[in-house]
Homo-oligomer: A and B are copies of this chain.
Amino acid sequence: MAVALDAMGGDRGPGPLVEGAVAAARDFGIEVILVGDKPLLEKELERLKADGLPICIQHATQVVGMAEAPSEALRRKKDSSIRVAFNLAKEGKAQGVVSAGNSGATLATAMFVLGRVKGIRPAIATLIPTLKETGLMIDVGANVDCKPHHLLQFGIMGSIFAKEFLKKPSPRIGLLSIGEEDSKGNQQVKKAYDFLAAADLNFVGNVEGRDVFKGDVDVVVCDGFVGNICLKLSEGLAEAVLTMLRNEIEGNLLAVMGYGLAKKAFRRFKQRVDYSEYGGAPLLGVKGTVIICHGRSGPRALKNAIRVADNLAALNLSEKIQNSISERKDFLRIV
């Protein structure tokens, strides 16, 4: 089964998107449906000599701009590349959707077309680099105003994702707060602490900002406002450090040589921090597989995102989330 790619979204036009699709088809044998302007995409495929690869095109007449309001896009652009990609998933013609386009519109369209898992607030999870193994942060932007029980839902979804995708037998769940003690935090987090502690999760308690990159927990739970700020702060800091390092070292030859190495090390780090390098962030809690990529994603990120979508679809994650929520029905009713 195929992965549908919104081939018109993103900051850099269809070029890097199609290139990523071609790489995924060539390197992993994944079937890809490019959704967007057919003549344009045909030209791109020709340029990339993609003959014989399992790639096809689904025409869509409209494109949602990166700054367009999601509600407007949903109402007015019923033949946008995003919408058509999700329609393919809904109709069973694609097993997953990858989009580097307007992320608000992607989110809204995913919820509208695919629907939510019953009783769940969908959330965006992102893989994060740590000093130990790869971790997960959820939510990083889908929900800017969360109730405590939403954080519990993120913990449940994050636990399932970490178990199934990251192969952690019993994922350690941490709640992002401002101190380790259960008395620390704002009202939202203190209440969420109680819910998470009462749930049958491997909840290890609060974690602080400085623990995020240590890798002592597998899943960091936070509300989408805080998570989005953390994610972007990390990117910004990695960039700022690189720039400051360049300024510190400039003009010293030995240092410049060392800097070359340091720079490589840095770039690797920056890539690890930058979630596009993981191929994008999965949207959990909708009925289907969705990967949301950075607008500025390059071919490598897209290729990885398509692979992740393919892997995730095979895991039946949304069904597992649905089952887990059903099993916890009585508990979730009282929180």
Give the copy number.
2
> Complex Cα distance A235/B234, Å?
11
Assess the B185–A243 pair: CB atoms within 8 A.
Answer: no
> Complex Cα distance A255/B186, Å?
45
Instruction: Annotate A253-280 by CB proximity to B: 1 below 8 A, 0 otherwise.
Output: 0110111111011101100010000000
A198 at the interface (CB under 8 A from B): no
Of A50-58, A109-117, A244-252, the one contacting chain B is: A244-252
**What residues make up the interface of A, taking CB atoms closer than 8 Å to B?**
67, 129-131, 141, 144-145, 176-178, 181, 185-187, 189, 208-214, 224-226, 228-241, 243-245, 248-249, 252, 254-255, 257-262, 264-266, 268-269, 273
Which of B178, B212, B230, B241 sits near A141, CB closer than 8 Å? B178
Q: What DSSP secondary structure best describes chain A's contact surface? A: helix
**CB of A292, distance to nearest CB on chain B (Å):** 14
From known contacts A178-B225, A237-B238, infer whether A231 and B258 are also in contact, taking CB-CB under 8 Å: no
Assess the A229–B228 pair: CB atoms within 8 A.
Answer: no
**CB of A76, distance to nearest CB on chain B (Å):** 18
Which residues of chain B are near A178, meaning CB under 8 Å?
Answer: 141, 144, 224-225, 228-229, 232
